[in-house]
């Protein structure tokens, strides 16, 4: 679980002011049934979600309940989604070089609101869109890996709508931007 390694030569007479303690915990979680179906769909090049029978919001991946209406959802509430939509929000991440950080250059993560029947893909990567050009209202479509290269093994219960291993990111469709105040669910 843990190992303590001196990081530099220590003067044996100096007072102890701190100690290094490196630790690691491993977790092995079973993937829940609704996410298992989501993963299978990704292998087939499809996106699925659960639509709340009351408020009609679509959750990606299918979650098993609507937290707003506190209604359980089942396979009967499953809907197939489209892989096109609009960038509803984005964050440019400037990596801080903390221990374990692998990113060195600024990168962007976008939220894509899918076209009807809806659903939100959050924390998505973009393909061929410079970080400085990303903005709300851009029309995008998913860039799928070839079927033989798809690997959904990294998608678990806590992947927050990730399609990593099946969709590399989202590229511009070439359609005109949606005005920000017309983006579905827009707060602007």
Choices 58-66, 81-89, 119-127, 145-153 (CB under 8 A): range interacting with another protein: 58-66
Residue 19 lies near another protein (rule: CB under 8 A): yes
Structure tokens at 171: 């590229």
Residue 26 CB, shortest distance to another protein, in Å, is 7
Contacts of residue 91, defined as CB under 8 A and 6 or more positions apart, other chains included, come to 108, 109, 110
Q: Which of 89, 122, 157, 168 binds another protein (CB under 8 A)?
A: 157
| Omega cis (within 30) before 134 | no
- DSSP, collapsed to helix, strand or coil, labels residue 180 as helix
Q: Which of 9, 10, 14, 25 binds another protein (CB under 8 A)?
A: 25
Q: Which of 64, 137, 169, 180 binds another protein (CB under 8 A)?
A: 64
Contacts of residue 188, defined as CB under 8 A and 6 or more positions apart, other chains included, come to 136, 180, 181
Q: Which of 30, 76, 96, 187 binds another protein (CB under 8 A)?
A: 30
User: In whole angstroms, what is the distance from residue 96 CA to residue 178 CA?
Assistant: 33
Which residues lie near another protein (CB under 8 A)?
1-2, 4, 19, 21, 23, 25-33, 63-65, 67-70, 72, 157-158
């Amino acid at each position: 679980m843990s190992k303590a390694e001196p990081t530099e030569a220590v003067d044996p007479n100096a007072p102890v002011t701190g100690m290094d303690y490196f630790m690691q915990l491993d977790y092995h979680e079973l993937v829940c049934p609704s996410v298992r179906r989501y993963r299978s769909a990704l292998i087939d090049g499809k996106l699925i979600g659960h639509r709340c029978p009351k408020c009609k919001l679509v959750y990606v991946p299918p979650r098993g309940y609507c937290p707003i209406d506190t209604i359980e959802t089942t396979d009967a509430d499953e809907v197939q989604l489209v892989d096109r939509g609009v960038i509803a929000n984005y964050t440019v991440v400037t990596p801080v070089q903390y221990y374990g950080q692998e990113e060195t250059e600024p990168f962007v993560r976008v939220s894509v609101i899918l076209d009807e029947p809806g659903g939100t893909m959050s924390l998505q990567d973009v393909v061929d869109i410079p970080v400085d050009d990303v903005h709300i209202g851009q029309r995008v479509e998913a860039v799928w890996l070839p079927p033989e290269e798809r690997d959904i093994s990294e998608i678990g219960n806590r992947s927050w709508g990730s399609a990593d291993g099946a969709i590399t990111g989202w590229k511009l469709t070439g359609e005109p931007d949606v005005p920000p105040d017309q983006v579905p669910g827009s707060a602007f």
